[in-house]
Structure 1
């Protein structure tokens, strides 16, 4: 059974081998087809006709690029304020996050603040982030040092805080006297 199947597959590939025909129309344009047309001739391909792709060797990296690829600086980062599980009471929803980083950031490196796994604000060079109008509740903060190409260089452990904020849009209700 297997032998018959292999024979049928080989026969099928031989039968389906496409022949290419070439002809020139009245305007002098050359055309190719898999169907014979009057005044067409069969195109014979040489055995060495192959699609060849040449891969270019990567160029040596410039000295300034090599520094970014292999960062020699190992940053140590931590969030100083607020403390872990601290409750902040602010009716405006303002929070200031302060961190420490050693050694100092290189000029092409930036800090990014993530609140609840989402980037908050633009990247910056200073480790002090002032946030305005944050919703009340539990929040987790992480600060990451990144290169300009987006590669993460260092990160702080997550810091969980609680923001206590009075109800903001509560309408005054009329009171009745009994």
Structure 2
């Protein structure tokens, strides 16, 4: 049974090779088809018709750092807005930043909250913060090369984190006379 299936697949693949016909219509348009038409000629296709593109090798060497230093990049914090009040009882919020103009090579971004680096530098500009104390905070995002050299920083962004009181205020007791 397997042998019969194999033979039928081989024969089917030989029949699947179609002939390509080319002809020009009365308006001068060139047409191609797998069905013969009057005044059509057979097109011989080369066996190895492949589109091959060779890309130059990209290496992460010091040239990337030199190219980055030549261009004036800008880091912009897109969220939260300047002097925005973030309301979260758990102290969780997200910071988003972008680098312009767009950089083709990989780079890292680091978040500083009140002058202290939070976490490790990462690829991408979305930072999720959790368990941050309430109050006023200053955020700065740095863009850096793979070897840790900062090539652009955002302007400091002031935000306010608001957390509702965990314990309710004591109720006033009525006075008795």
Asked if Structure 1 and Structure 2 have the same fold, meaning a TM-score greater than 0.5 normalized by the shorter chain, the answer is yes
Provide the rounded CA distance (Å) in 2 between the counterparts of 1:109 and 1:67: 10
Return the match for 2:89 from 79, 88, 91.
91
Task: Give the number of aligned pairs.
Answer: 116
Equivalent residue number for residue 127 of structure 1:
125
Tell which structure's C-alpha radius of gyration is larger. 1
Contact conserved, 1:105 with 1:125, CA < 8 A, in 2? no
Equivalent residue number for residue 62 of structure 2:
65
SS at match of 1:68: helix
**Can you give the 5+ residue segments of structure 1 that lack an aligned partner in the other structure?**
1-61
Alpha-carbon shift at residue 78 of structure 1 (Å): 0.8
Provide the rounded CA distance (Å) in 2 between the counterparts of 1:157 and 1:112: 14
1:32-75 Cα shifts (integer Å, max 9, x gaps): xxxxxxxxxxxxxxxxxxxxxxxxxxxxxx99324424533432
The two structures have a TM-score, normalised by structure 1, of 0.55
**Can you give the 5+ residue segments of structure 2 that lack an aligned partner in the other structure?**
1-58
Alpha-carbon shift at residue 156 of structure 1 (Å): 0.3
Identify if the C-alpha distance between structure 1 residues 103 and 163 changes in structure 2 by more than 3 Å, giving closer, same or farther.
same
SS at match of 2:62: helix
Provide the rounded CA distance (Å) in 1 between the counterparts of 2:83 and 2:71: 31
The two structures have a TM-score, normalised by structure 2, of 0.56
